[in-house]
Amino acid sequence: MMNWRKNVRRVEPYVPGEQPKEKEVIKLNTNENPYPPSPKVAEALMEFDYEDLRRYPDPESAELIEALAETYHVKKEQVFVGVGSDDVLAMSFLTFFNSKKPILFPDITYSFYDVWAEEFRIPYETKPLKDDFQIDVEDYLCENGGIVLPNPNAPTGLLEPMEVYERILRENPDSVVIIDEAYVDFGGVSVLPLIEKYENLLVVQTFSKSRCMAGSRIGYAFGNPELIQYLNDVKYSFNSYTMDRITQKIGVAMLRDQEYFENTVKQIIETREWTKQELRRLGFTFGDSKANFIFARHETFPAEEMFQALKEAGIYVRYFKKPRIDNYLRISIGTRNDMEALVSFLEKYVKE
């Protein structure tokens, strides 16, 4: 008998959006930024001395942490960095969700949360969003072992009023509340200032969406220094040199060009609002997304069929075959040209 199999930690893996090998496709399926990072990043790459790769990187990512602290007007001790916010979130689940009581998150949300919960054997309970896809705050006022909520939510793109987050924080002093702000720069309001008021709040952000650097894998978190210390203890007990030298350098360079960041975000917001008008005209319905994607369905055409037709035309969007959302498409906001190509394809499609 081959009994080693019964001791395997089996997991149902997270399925990321496709990364097609062909260059020509219009890629609106993983919420990447359509613009490259700041030219300052190119400069930093040119200046990087390859001989430095001989040595380990700074395990504390001190320069990057300092740049983040400056950019966001917090103390260094309130900042944690990781290899993408997926890494930061996974470390946070491991560090803070150790109760026998279930952690809570919405039924429709980032589909990595239940994967980590399963992987780390964390009991969890999902709370159904209301029919309008907003959360019911009462759902988060019961006993729990922790809470994780995105702001704005994904894949809906919808914001909750600040009061909702604040009430959840105030009424759950015995739980760590993680607010995942992967998309907050596209029109949301960050809960970051609340870290001064609630010691149970951890705010997680990323360079992957609004800072044009999904390829570099930089994520970070803000919280009170004690939370950050616990996170670092777990990180160093796992792998202390997570972020490489090149990434630390170019991450700092990207943060130093705030103007570039603000301009690209502004363009994406403009393109999103233009795309909303066009999709509405073509018979799509959707909530008021404040992210770099639109979560839409069509009055007449099934989402799965549109998804296939778009793919055959070289336009990749995201489709989730899951309860309640299997008639929706999640369409990332690309350049204006990308969105014009999408709209012109859909225009022909709905007329046939």
Ligand X SMILES: *Cc1c(COP(=O)(O)O)cnc(C)c1O
Binding-site ranges for ligand X (CB under 6 A):
31, 84-86, 110, 150, 154, 180, 182, 206, 208, 214, 219
- Closer of 180 and 338 to ligand X (Cβ): 180
Within 10 Å of residue 109's Cβ, how many Cβ atoms?
Answer: 21
The pairing of strands 284-286 and 219-222 is: unpaired
From residue 59, alpha-carbon distances to 35, 86, 214 in Å are: 30, 18, 21
Please state the closest distance from residue 19 (CB atom) to ligand X, in A: 13
- What gap in Å lies between CA 174 and CA 222, rounded to an integer? 19
- What gap in Å lies between CA 126 and CA 104, rounded to an integer? 6
- Closer of 182 and 279 to ligand X (Cβ): 182
Please state the closest distance from residue 329 (CB atom) to ligand X, in A: 16
- What gap in Å lies between CA 329 and CA 28, rounded to an integer? 10
Q: Are 174 and 199 in contact (CB under 8 A)?
A: no
- Closer of 102 and 155 to ligand X (Cβ): 155
Please provide residue 98's backbone torsions phi and psi, each rounded to the nearest 5 degrees.
-125, 25
**Burial of 14: CB neighbours in 10 Å, binned 0-12, 13-18, 19+:** middle
- What gap in Å lies between CA 8 and CA 182, rounded to an integer? 32
- What gap in Å lies between CA 150 and CA 177, rounded to an integer? 11
Please state the closest distance from residue 144 (CB atom) to ligand X, in A: 20
- Closer of 182 and 268 to ligand X (Cβ): 182
Please state the closest distance from residue 100 (CB atom) to ligand X, in A: 26
- Closer of 165 and 301 to ligand X (Cβ): 165
Q: Are 68 and 81 in contact (CB under 8 A)?
A: yes
Token output for 4: 């080693």
- Closer of 150 and 251 to ligand X (Cβ): 150
- Closer of 151 and 200 to ligand X (Cβ): 151
When CB distances to ligand X are compared, the closest residue is 84
- Closer of 127 and 298 to ligand X (Cβ): 127
Please state the closest distance from residue 206 (CB atom) to ligand X, in A: 3
- What gap in Å lies between CA 65 and CA 303, rounded to an integer? 42
Please state the closest distance from residue 336 (CB atom) to ligand X, in A: 23
Nearest CA-CA partner of 144 in 164, 119, 117, 108: 117
Please state the closest distance from residue 152 (CB atom) to ligand X, in A: 9
Please state the closest distance from residue 248 (CB atom) to ligand X, in A: 16
Nearest CA-CA partner of 317 in 111, 25, 58: 25
